Chains A and B, each alone.
Chain A
Amino acid sequence: MKSVTEQRLLVTGNEAAAIGVKLSNVRFISAYPITPQTTIVEKLAEMVSKGELKSRYVEVESEHSAMAAVYTAALAGSRSYTATSSHGLLYMHEMLHWTAGMRVPLVTSVVNRAIGPPWNVWADQSDSMNQKDTGWLQVYCESNQETLDTIIAGYKIAENRDVMLPLMSMEDAFVLSHTSEPVTVPNQSMVDEFLPEYKPEFVVDVNNPRGYGSYATPEGPFMELKYDMVSSMERAKSVIRDTLREYSDTFGREYSGLTENYMMDDADYAFITSGTLASTAKYVVNKLRKEGKKVGLIRIKFFRPFPQEEIREALKHVNAAGVIDRSVSFSAGGSLYSDVIASIYRKLDVPVSGFVAGIGGRDVRISDFEHMFSLVQDGTEGMQWIGLKEVD
């Protein structure tokens, strides 16, 4: 039964994230400001200051310290949160490995922003794509509603005993972070019921002293612990599906799992992308459908764990696909592209085009998508840069 106390608010992505944190009963928050994340932590500081959120808010001197403070606070027994962006996330990189390796189920918001030089504060997923091998679950949100919901569901997924890995929730800089959309805010008591109090199995206790993160030799359990992390990431897939189903049933959403398929049932061609580019892609899919072109979209919501099964299933009957990366990789194509290719290798005979688009916040226009569609139809191979200007 839907609660009458549910609220409908017009909020930015960053406000939505802060509301999600508040509803999740986070008890310890620590962060360092960076554009365009800042308004998340400002909002949280304000909530704490007004007494709306019963939480410790600790201002630290760097992002490295922010992550160090939240993981130790979580080990000591408090549900913890931080948020960052771009260079701040890169500065945390060491700590990201450490929190995941320590199996601390944090949730962290990342507002996707370009990496300099040159300085650029606009949307670009290169920052979080750089963290894809740190052992964190990664969610790329498409709307402010999803940004809010992902925090609440994210804690439940991360804290699941079968997972116990931290979760990173992304929003595209400014496109979501500073843009207002109507958002349905669930009521607190329903969230409390959905997300129980944080009760870690091992908590710092002087009467039961333990070591957290000691050293291991080549013959020690190092390799086994890394294997266990990878296995847990794999196990997270069913936890994600179950948790999002439960979340959708409880709060009236339609989250289907690790990916979202849009008009894929009868599609001959597919776009594959993540974040807010997926919204433009949906618009273009509608437009092309009206022109009689059977195209669909696979939106990658979870990039970690990587949804290879879903992708294989969705691409089974298509003639060709095009992957759009909003990030830079110096590999054999973009990060998303490489993982898509690896997922279908020797299982599906589908040509896949790769595109780099929208980095540094550059607009990806409807005409750009139409151009990409024509390249996909032609079966163009290799990475294509979309919207590149001619320079002298």
Chain B
Amino acid sequence: MPLSIPATELMEPGHTACHGCGATLTMRYVLKALGKNTVMSVPASCWAVIPGELPYRTLDVPMIYTPFAATGASITGIRESLDLQGKQDYNVVGFAGDGGTADIGLQSLSGAMERGHNVFYIMYDNEGYMNTGVQRSASTPAGAYTTTTPVGPMRNYKKQPKKVVADLMIAQGVPYVATATVAYPEDLIRKLKTATEIVGPKFIQILAPCPTGWYFPPEETVEISRLAVKSKMFPLFESIKGKFKLFRPGSPVPVSEYLKKQDRFKHLNEAEIETIQKSVDERWNELVSREKTV
């Protein structure tokens, strides 16, 4: 059987990521999908550090760093400038974490998507500010412990549901929007290749489990990201020019299967887990009906 994942490696050894880092796998697969004609723009995030200290760099593609809030605007400048010089065959990619996307970078992302540049925006979603030591972001799921939503006797963990940026992008009319995880690399790469066919903005939210911030052993990254899909905590979907498609996991599991593997949820009692299960089911039903109505 021919390999569906390109053998090309554009990520070299020597990066400084934690063991089992989901964000590192994400970058590796994204580059396999997009190939060497790619320019990466990276804001403050784990990925501002992972490639290595100046002048070293573990990626074989040009990388432009930006301050936290500027990813969307930076890919605007790169794309338009390259087009002016006839370099339309370059892929221009903003590669930002969930904090840099759902919180501080949302204005800039929304602006870039609205203007319709031919760019990719990859949100690697590790559900928190992991580079600064596990603080809450808008993309942190309800119920999670972080260092700014500590548990304690007041049970002051993250109360609000996850802000799903992919939903915002669909609502904004972005022509290609998808979610993916590193547990399904064929799916991830297929989605990027599909996105490549579309001229215009492309937004892909990729769940990137973080052993350090989610408190699980580093060898379980792939398993946890698979459980995120099977438990429907992180549904996989794709919206191509408004046509919505939901991927149904083969053997679904209750959310407790996913939650119990991570110490960030270990404080949750039965009733709290039941509440999370209920909200996950509600969202899943909403996604199913969205598929039918579109």
Interface residues of A (CB under 8 A from B): 27-28, 30, 56, 58-62, 64-66, 68-78, 80, 94-95, 98, 204-206, 209-217, 220-221
Contacts and interface: CB of A to CB of B under 8 A. Distances in A.
A211 B78 contact: no
Residue among A28, A71, A74, A211 with most chain B CB within 10 A: A211
B74 A69 contact: yes
Contact of A65 (B52, B60, B70): B70
A211 B77 contact: no
Interface of B: 36-39, 41, 48-49, 51-57, 59-67, 69-70, 72-78, 80-85, 90, 107-108, 110-111, 114-115
B73 A214 contact: no
A384 B50 CA distance: 53
B107 A220 contact: no
Contacts of B65: 211-214
Given A60-B76, A210-B57, 9 more contacts: A27-B81, A27-B84, A56-B80, A60-B73, A71-B77, A204-B78, A206-B39, A216-B53, A220-B54
B36 A64 contact: no
B80 A206 contact: no
Given A95-B70, A211-B57, A212-B64, A72 B77 contact: yes
B84 A56 contact: yes
B59 A72 contact: no
Given A64-B73, A65-B70, A69-B73, A78 B81 contact: yes
Contacts of A28: 77, 80-81, 84
Contacts of B90: 206
Given A74-B81, A95-B67, A221 B54 contact: yes
Contact of A210 (B62, B76, B82, B110): B62
B40 to A, nearest CB: 9
Contacts of B36: 206
Given A98-B67, A210-B62, A217-B53, A61 B110 contact: yes
B8 to A, nearest CB: 13
Contacts of B57: 209-211, 214
Nearest to B110: A61
A72 B94 CA distance: 12
Given A73-B81, A214-B57, A209 B63 contact: yes
15 contacts: A58-B76, A61-B110, A62-B108, A65-B70, A65-B111, A68-B66, A74-B77, A76-B39, A78-B85, A204-B64, A209-B62, A212-B65, A214-B48, A214-B54, A215-B49
A98 B107 contact: no
Given A62-B111, A72-B78, A77-B81, A212 B63 contact: yes
B61 A209 contact: yes
A212 B74 CA distance: 12
Given A28-B77, A204-B64, A212-B64, A64 B84 contact: no
B134 to A, nearest CB: 20
Contacts of B51: 211, 214
B70 A64 contact: yes
Nearest to B76: A69
Contact of A60 (B52, B82, B111): B111
A19 B181 CA distance: 51
A280 B18 CA distance: 63
Nearest to A64: B69
Nearest to A71: B77
Contact of A76 (B70, B82, B114): B82
A138 B38 CA distance: 36
Residue among B51, B54, B57, B111 with most chain A CB within 10 A: B54
Contact of B81 (A60, A72, A214, A216): A72
A204 B110 CA distance: 25
Contacts of A66: 73
Contacts of A94: 67, 69
A215 B50 CA distance: 10
